[in-house]
Chain A
């Protein structure tokens, strides 16, 4: 299915959980936050939150800044 991840169009398997998406991206265990369609998906629900076609997903982390 088609999703938009960090601003880029992307294809991914159907019925993917947030955990599975992060695993496919090599991001399991990293300190990050996930937002789907402008709503935060809490880490505790990564296993049960299912990504839908057309979802706009943002994955963010902390970097150096003033």
Chain B
């Protein structure tokens, strides 16, 4: 559902609202696949993101007890952390992960739910994701759900109580960009919760396109971390998201088959 904005609305008066909290950046980033923690820190900062995803994994016992920790450079004081259920192929594993994440983060209950169906495509297992959603919503979690670009399913997740629905553009890490723009458009038009494209974005124009379709935000990881210069790409993505959002709010011209001249005919002297 789009908000009617004043034509000169600045970025700060067009916040992204998720579960009642305002964010000024519509770019959300993952923290995986970086060369090291310093690169993670620098790229995340350059992106301007306010919400970042993290994974929940076993602590290394015994080795590197004093190794710096992700949360030392990506502090919960400065960022909203969004724990994910990456690597889960069953609803049970995802539910267990969310509960551990909530305990880890002192009761913070905003989570990214993903339940995978296939190792090659990393497409979501929608049936397992729906099952996990039902249990987790009852358990009080605020769910941002990773799903496919099926508008019927997207609306179903919203009806089950997800606080945001996140259709994929293309397979995770593929960099293919939005494969089904008309599906994304339909999802956006039908939604009353924020819609964020999550997965498959490759470059800044992909992010801009998502925003031009009316999406509320974009979540990406590989597109930045896998770029030759992640800090520069983070900056490009930030600008791409802002450009796409302004273009959307500005109201583009329609596509026409034939030309319409930009200069008047009257007054020609030839």
A65 to chain B: which residues have CB within 8 Å? 30-32, 53-55, 57, 84, 86, 221
Q: Does A55 contact B (CB under 8 A)?
A: no
With both chains docked as a complex, state the minimum distance between the C-beta of B131 and any C-beta of chain A, in angstroms.
Answer: 18
For window 30-58 of chain A, which residues contact chain B by CB distance below 8 Å? 30-35, 38, 40, 42-43, 58
Of B33, B54, B81, chain A has the most CB atoms within 10 Å of the CB of: B54
B86 to chain A: which residues have CB within 8 Å? 65-66
- By the criterion CB–CB under 8 Å, are A63 and B104 in contact? no
Q: Mark B38-79, 1 if CB is under 8 A from A, else 0.
A: 001000000000000111111101100100011100000000
Bound together, the chains give a CA A7 to CA B58 distance in angstroms of 9
Q: How large is the interface on B (under 10, 10 to 19, 20 to 34, 35 or more residues)?
A: 35 or more
B53 to chain A: which residues have CB within 8 Å? 65-66
With both chains docked as a complex, state the minimum distance between the C-beta of B46 and any C-beta of chain A, in angstroms.
Answer: 16
With both chains docked as a complex, state the minimum distance between the C-beta of A51 and any C-beta of chain B, in angstroms.
Answer: 14
Bound together, the chains give a CA A34 to CA B58 distance in angstroms of 10
Q: Give the size of the chain A interface in residues (CB under 8 angstroms).
A: 26
- By the criterion CB–CB under 8 Å, are A64 and B70 in contact? yes
Whether A62 touches B100, Cβ cut-off 8 Å, given contacts A25-B61, A32-B59, is: no
- By the criterion CB–CB under 8 Å, are B40 and A64 in contact? yes
Label chain B's interface by main secondary structure: mixed
Q: Does B99 contact A (CB under 8 A)?
A: yes
Q: Does A11 contact B (CB under 8 A)?
A: no
Residue of A with least CB distance to B81: A62
B222 to chain A: which residues have CB within 8 Å? 66
Q: Does B248 contact A (CB under 8 A)?
A: no
- By the criterion CB–CB under 8 Å, are A66 and B221 in contact? yes
With both chains docked as a complex, state the minimum distance between the C-beta of A56 and any C-beta of chain B, in angstroms.
Answer: 12
Q: Does A59 contact B (CB under 8 A)?
A: yes
Bound together, the chains give a CA A4 to CA B222 distance in angstroms of 35
- By the criterion CB–CB under 8 Å, are B104 and A25 in contact? no
Known contacts A40-B100, A64-B40, A66-B220; 8 additional CB pairs below 8 A are A27-B59, A27-B65, A35-B96, A38-B96, A59-B59, A61-B56, A61-B104, A65-B31
In the complex, 28 of the A-B residue pairs with CB atoms within 8 angstroms, ordered by the A residue number, are A6-B58, A26-B65, A27-B65, A33-B100, A33-B104, A40-B99, A40-B103, A42-B103, A58-B58, A59-B58, A59-B59, A60-B58, A62-B69, A62-B70, A62-B81, A62-B83, A62-B101, A63-B56, A63-B70, A64-B30, A64-B31, A64-B33, A65-B54, A66-B32, A66-B33, A66-B53, A66-B221, A66-B222
